[in-house]
Amino acid sequence: MNARPRSLAWDATAAIEALAAADTALWVWTPAEDQLRFTGATRALGLGPLAPECSGAGFVASTLPQDRSLAEKMLKPQEEGAEIAVRLRMRGAETCLWRGVWLEDGLRAAGVVALEAKFTGSDRDTLTGLLDRRAFIARVGEVLTQAGEYELVVGDVDRLRRLNEALGHERTDLVLSALGSRLAAAFPKDAAAARIGEDEFAIIVPKTASHTSYRVREALEQPLRVAGFDIYPTVSIGAVIVEGGPDAPDASELLRRVELAVESAKAAGRGGSAAYGRALESDSLSRLALEADLRNAFVRGEITPFFQPIVNLKTGAVAGFEALARWRHPRRGLVPPDEFLGLTADLGMMNDLGLLMMTQSARQLAEWIQRHPLAGKLFCSVNLSVGEIERPHLCEDVARVIKEAGLPRGALKLEVTEGDIMRDTARAAEVLQSLKDVGASLALDDFGTGFSSLSYLARLPFDTLKIDRYFVLTMNKDEGSAKIVKSVVNLGRDLSLEVVAEGVENAELAALLLEAQCHYGQGFGYAPALPAQEAEVYLAESLADGTAPLKQRSA
């Protein structure tokens, strides 16, 4: 008897088992639903906490901080057929390659994600030719089988995201490639130079080698020129000393320790150095506790805007305020912004912070306008965080906030940075115009410190330029700073833009700015950022006195 032919059918279970066995997963991203779905080996890829589906913000927050700009770029809608190829590392997992394509007129994207080793089959970083993270860990394990004292050093290139914004990814890759070549040339081949992250380089050498951290810094901090720009890299360095032999720690654990030292070095400012010690472990636990507190702070209403006055230099009247985020911690008191803003970014919550600040500031401004009609056209500036200009529904949120607060057109002023504009000027122009159309006014923050083109500035719908405080603080002592301030003021007038000078610390600087015909001043010479109640008292007293008080001496 002939056997019945078996029909060929799609076996979903078998397909999922095959994906899991290959340490591979399928993903589908639908921006309109803010939903990223996974099928396959999610746990092996570091996606277990996100599976089977998560939001875009949750996905970005789960990547390592240095990879988050790439994760955001991956989720940004593109035209149909556009390909996706991104290297990302999730927390607690190895680096993975994400590949896919945009479908259905850019309404969704789909693709595959797998461990980088599965795709490449190589132990080399494709950009620099150095060992990659996986191969470096293996090499460290081999080295530590031999008795002796060794030093593992990691150098983290500072401000790589700023470099990406200014130069673009392709030119930044040229910088990283050059840095990799310099590191390799500074040490013998058996030192196992590696690129272990987007902006991290590593080396392991016998402790008998002298001044290893100094040699790493000397190799990576040499200036270079790319695309007409002089680049002066700075590096935050972490180091750990370890004994090789049968009792040596696991290589992955050792790398974790040295990366804790790198984080400690970065906390001290650009170009810092730190060695691993047990105290860093407790610092790391404290950071975890602070992360949990910060998430709850949004729910409990502990984060509120403080308001710094912006004064009309000609009349001395308070023209408006800039809203700045402050965190009132129930036990620690007022947490400084530099302690929680970076953490907010690491958690992927900057968009949440931006919306919160807009909403609360708009409500407060509406109350002040109603209670103080003599204040005239009072405004409030709110900063858009890096990348917020690209987030979906920004314009709809701004329109809703303005309408619910009942604010007049232009009263809510949104401040954006040059880096946000320069990433995609055509898209930025569309978003900025939409923000103007729904009733917001626009300011370009820290003008003169970035890489913007004047041709872009002339085409973009800004109302205000803000001069960086450094130029203002030094204009009474440095002729170059004074010329820059005057040039920006004249440029603003030529383009029919108002100009705000930050960093007005005393009456002398205010007089120089007035002489240069600058419109507004802002700084500690008038007042720091104040709680809402104190800011209203300042406004009321200024209206009663006819002018805002100004310190006569330097702060």
What value does the mean pLDDT take over residues 237-264?
A: 85
Question: What is the predicted pLDDT for the residue at 169?
Answer: 77
CA distances to 207, 432, 438, 545 from 321, rounded to whole Å, are 55, 21, 21, 18
Pick the most confident of 254-258, 366-370, 470-474.
Answer: 366-370
pLDDT higher at 512 or 64: 512
Which residues are bridge partners to 109 per DSSP?
Answer: 29, 102
| CATH topology (fold) of 302-460+527-545 | TIM Barrel (3.20.20)
Q: Give the contacts of 548 (CB within 8 A, at least 6 positions apart).
A: 309, 311, 316, 317, 318, 526, 527, 538, 542
**Which pLDDT belongs to residue 415?**
94
What pLDDT score was predicted for residue 104? 83
Domains 12-118 and 302-460+527-545 share a fold: no
Each residue's pLDDT tens digit, 475-508: 988 888 889 899 889 988 888 999 999 999 999 9
Give the lowest-confidence range in 10-19, 389-398, 475-484, 509-518.
Answer: 10-19
pLDDT of residue 17: 56
Polymer length in residues for the chain = 555
Q: What is the CA radius of gyration of the chain?
A: 27
pTM exceeds 0.85 for this model:
no
Q: What is the mean pLDDT of residues 276-286?
A: 60
Percent of the chain exceeding pLDDT 70 equals 90
Give residue 284's pLDDT band: very low, low, confident or very high (50, 70, 90): low
CATH fold of 12-118, please? Beta-Lactamase (3.30.450)
Residue with tokens 């599965």: 118
Mean pLDDT score, 442-453: 69
Q: Residue 20: its pLDDT value, please?
A: 55
Return d(Cα 555, Cα 115) in angstroms, integer: 55
The predicted pLDDT at position 109 comes to: 93
**pLDDT tens for each residue of 542-553:** 888 888 887 654
Encode pLDDT of 319-373 as tens digits: 999 999 999 887 767 777 877 887 788 788 888 999 999 999 999 999 999 999 8
Query: Average pLDDT of the chain?
Result: 84
Return the H-helix or E-strand segment holding 342. Answer: helix 337-346
Q: Domain ranges in the chain?
A: 12-118, 133-278, 302-460+527-545
Which listed CATH number (3.10.180.10, 3.30.70.270, 3.30.1050.10, 1.50.40.10) goes with 133-278? 3.30.70.270
What is the tens place of the pLDDT at every residue in 106-136?
A: 899 999 998 876 655 557 788 888 998 888 9
Cβ contact 230:167 at 8 Å: no
User: What pLDDT is stored for residue 510 in this prediction?
Assistant: 92
Model pLDDT, residue 517: 93
pLDDT tens by residue, 164-212: 777 777 788 888 888 998 998 888 877 889 999 888 999 999 887 668 8
- For the chain, the first-to-last Cα distance in angstroms comes to 101
Given this model, what pLDDT does residue 313 score? Answer: 93
Token pair for 490: 């004249």
Exposed e or buried b per residue across 70-82, where buried means at least 16 C-beta atoms within 10 angstroms of its C-beta: bbbbbbebeeeee
Q: What is the pLDDT of residue 120?
A: 53
Instruction: Tell me the average pLDDT across 402-408.
Output: 95
pLDDT mean over 431-451: 84
pLDDT value, residue 279: 65
Segment of 17-21, 42-46, 275-279 carrying the highest mean pLDDT: 42-46
Percentages (nearest 5) of helix, strand, coil residues in the chain:
45, 25, 30
Which residue has 């940004």 as its token pair?
A: 76
- Residues with Cβ within 8 Å of 428's Cβ and at least 6 positions away in sequence, in order, are 389, 416, 420, 421, 460
Collapsing DSSP to helix, strand or coil, 225 comes out as strand
Give the model's confidence band at 299: pLDDT under 50 very low, under 70 low, under 90 confident, else very high.
confident
Better-predicted residue by pLDDT, 369 or 417: 369
pLDDT by residue (tens digit) across 139-150?
898 888 888 889
